[in-house]
Structure 1
Amino acid sequence: MSLHSYIDIAIGVLKKETKICLALRQKHQSHANHWEFPGGKIEKGETPIQALKREFLEELAVETDNWQPLIVIPWHYEKVSVRLHVYTTDEYSSEPVGNEGQQVKWFEVFDLHQLAFPAANTGILKALQLADKYMITGSFNGKDEFLQKLSSALDSGIELCQLRAKGLASNEFSDIAEAAISLCHQKKAKVLLNGKIDLLAEFPEADGIQLASNLIYEFEKRPITKNKLLGVSTHTNEDIQQALKIDADFILLSPVKETSSHPGTAGIGWETFAQRVQSITVPVYALGGMKAGDIEMAKSQGGQGVAAISGFWPG
């Protein structure tokens, strides 16, 4: 049972190709001169999508459709707790205008980090950076086969991957990491290295680090710079709290289902996954027995999407 009484707010991310529609909060409002994603309070008897359709018509004079879930963010301000139900769509009727006198503008998604937003929007910005499929590299025999499999995965639409190559000699890992980073960037994908944070000093071109749950307790605060992604693997509520303490950009929560690598270990299931996600302010990937067909379920339970080895790594 939550100790907090939340005000539920529907937030809409309106997209036009690679651009996002934002509104500037006015002088008389809290967080004045901060940009925001349009939306508003969910009225009694409304669903989040009904609230979004109403708010966008009132605020921006546009009819919208086909809203898809992105993330749910609980946030505690000094005097109020809100729960942001964030959806995204690219289906709308006309050019948005500031119906209430507010400035409305389109921004490139990768320029959003340069703008001032209310603090509660941090998780939305992170979710917009990340794909709904997070591939973890699996088995391979030699560098050539590794690159062949990685290239095939990237060509199939993978945009975010984790290089996990345990047991390699350091020179073999270096050779593969350099090639993986180069290939991922060539194909417009991001790659995180699984291991200790000092890997970023060795491979500064990597997009970030994926920290195993047994490594996160070494830190009292975020151990890498903000311009790199910090992913954290978690299994328990304690892990989740520590991941948030060190300012993880996103979290992996596992195992959701029983996995071939740990047969006999029951997964937490979707109901527990959804319960844990409710208290997390950053994107969460479901891990453990996941396949592409589980993405819709993960999103419906508040997740960013799914992470997988066998589900995405070519056999």
Structure 2
Amino acid sequence: MKRVHVAAAVIRGDDDRVLIAKRAASQHQGGLWEFPGGKVEAGEQVRDALTRELHEELGIRVEAARPLIQVHHDYPDKQVLLDVWEVSAFSGEPHGAEGQPLAWASERELLDYEFPAANQPIVAAARLPDSYLITPDGLEPAELLRGVRAALAAGAKLIQLRAPNMFDPQYRDLAVDVQGLCAGKAQLMLKGPLEWLGDFPAAGWHLTAEQLRKYAPNGRPFPGQRWLAASCHGAEELALAARMGVDFVTLSPLQATQTHPEATPLGWEQAAQLLRESNIPAYLLGGVGPDDRERAWQIGAQGVAGIRAFWPQG
């Protein structure tokens, strides 16, 4: 069965809402919502196909777009490769040129719409920012809280509270304070025993590679509305993350780091290959900073994650 190559778009409006369209009942996966786009013709560049399809379907002209995620999915009757781009600027007023209903949805509202199975990683990618801040180890609680406040003021949207050398009660107390700071501003990801899940209902959970190996056979430990992430270092762990149904991963170490000097770096080429074989939004971690975002996008990553390069200075 030949895989159908489709160019699709996460189109953002001025208010950061995302444009979605409803598939006609007569189409494959009819009646469900989708991200607009269409087939890439033989010999056609993906960006060109996207521009053509969005003009035909919505009457808009793409002015700024970049790769977001690639998704391979096998339905019983069809195999697809969804080549998804984020469109951040366009001209014209979007309308259903083919009679299809349209809707503008906030990132949270996307969860209220029913999408084809192949679109689930796209929904996650559309809701995630392009950087993931991980807090440094070894800071006093007051210093860490000051840094989180500064990061939130600078626009951080996804923060992991990483404090491996703290005692459990100290970490839990700190998590309560950081969760309060992040409320309504950013998504907090916590690390720790899954027995703590019920105590922090607003937080997402970031699994260690060890936890991933232990719990993946049991499936996802909580419903899809709550963020679940995992630390991955290669193809085996990425496969376990997919089996568990995690929403996103960190892939590390991309390059040598002070934090884990003993780890063998993946390098950009191997990371690109791993991303091509995975459908999960992934942040590259290890020796990267904000300036590496563009390169990360080009090889299929959601963005970049880090500690020192992202932590507010001073």
In the superposition, the TM-score normalised over structure 1's length comes to 0.94
Q: Secondary structure at the match of 1:223?
A: coil
Task: For 1:90 and 1:258, locate their aligned partners in 2 and report how far apart those are by CA, in whole Å.
Answer: 33
Q: Which of 82-91 and 159-168 deviates more?
A: 82-91
- Among 255, 266, 269, the alignment partner of 1:268 is 266
Q: Secondary structure at the match of 2:183?
A: helix
1:105-254 map, 5 Å: 105-185=103-183, 188-206=185-203, 208-219=204-215, 220=217, 221-254=219-252
Query: Counterpart in 2 of 1:99?
Result: 97
Query: Counterpart in 1 of 2:3?
Result: 6
Q: Which of 242-251 and 259-268 deviates more?
A: 259-268
Structure 2 residue runs of 5 or longer lacking an equivalent are none
Structure 1 residue runs of 5 or longer lacking an equivalent are none
- TM-aligned CA deviation for residue 232 of structure 1: 0.6
Q: Secondary structure at the match of 1:293?
A: helix
Structure 1 residues 90 and 307: CA distance shift in structure 2, 3 A: closer
Matched, 1:66 2:64: yes
- TM-aligned CA deviation for residue 264 of structure 1: 5.4
- TM-aligned CA deviation for residue 5 of structure 1: 5.0
Q: CA-to-partner distance for each residue in 1:281-309, whole Å, 9 max, x for gaps? A: 12011111111111111111000001111
Contact persistence 2:138–2:163 (CA under 8 A): no
Contact persistence 1:140–1:146 (CA under 8 A): no
- Among 10, 13, 16, the alignment partner of 1:18 is 16
- TM-aligned CA deviation for residue 142 of structure 1: 2.2
* Matched letter for residue 271 of structure 1: E
* Structure 1 runs, 4 residues or longer, greater than 4 Å off: none
Q: Secondary structure at the match of 2:309?
A: coil
Task: For 1:205 and 1:53, locate their aligned partners in 2 and report how far apart those are by CA, in whole Å.
Answer: 38
Contact persistence 1:197–1:224 (CA under 8 A): no
* Matched letter for residue 210 of structure 1: H
Structure 1 residues 205 and 108: CA distance shift in structure 2, 3 A: closer
Question: How many residues are treated as equivalent by the alignment?
Answer: 310
Task: For 1:192 and 1:275, locate their aligned partners in 2 and report how far apart those are by CA, in whole Å.
Answer: 27
- Among 37, 40, 49, the alignment partner of 1:39 is 37
- TM-aligned CA deviation for residue 90 of structure 1: 3.4
Contact persistence 1:133–1:305 (CA under 8 A): yes
Task: For 2:198 and 2:163, locate their aligned partners in 1 and report how far apart those are by CA, in whole Å.
Answer: 18
Q: Secondary structure at the match of 2:301?
A: coil
Structure 1 residues 270 and 99: CA distance shift in structure 2, 3 A: same
- TM-aligned CA deviation for residue 92 of structure 1: 2.1
Task: For 2:244 and 2:108, locate their aligned partners in 1 and report how far apart those are by CA, in whole Å.
Answer: 24
Q: Secondary structure at the match of 1:245?
A: helix
Contact persistence 1:213–1:234 (CA under 8 A): yes
Contact persistence 1:136–1:164 (CA under 8 A): yes
Task: For 1:280 and 1:183, locate their aligned partners in 2 and report how far apart those are by CA, in whole Å.
Answer: 33
Q: CA-to-partner distance for each residue in 1:186-206, whole Å, 9 max, x for gaps? A: 5x1111101222222222232
Query: Counterpart in 1 of 2:87?
Result: 89
Task: For 1:205 and 1:109, locate their aligned partners in 2 and report how far apart those are by CA, in whole Å.
Answer: 16
Structure 1 residues 294 and 254: CA distance shift in structure 2, 3 A: same
Q: Which of 72-81 and 130-139 deviates more?
A: 72-81
Q: Secondary structure at the match of 1:198?
A: helix
Indicate the percent of aligned positions where both proteins have the same amino acid: 36
Q: Secondary structure at the match of 1:302?
A: coil
Task: For 2:107 and 2:50, locate their aligned partners in 1 and report how far apart those are by CA, in whole Å.
Answer: 20
- TM-aligned CA deviation for residue 75 of structure 1: 1.1
Task: For 1:32 and 1:164, locate their aligned partners in 2 and report how far apart those are by CA, in whole Å.
Answer: 43
Q: Secondary structure at the match of 1:215?
A: helix
Q: Secondary structure at the match of 2:129?
A: coil
In the superposition, the TM-score normalised over structure 2's length comes to 0.94
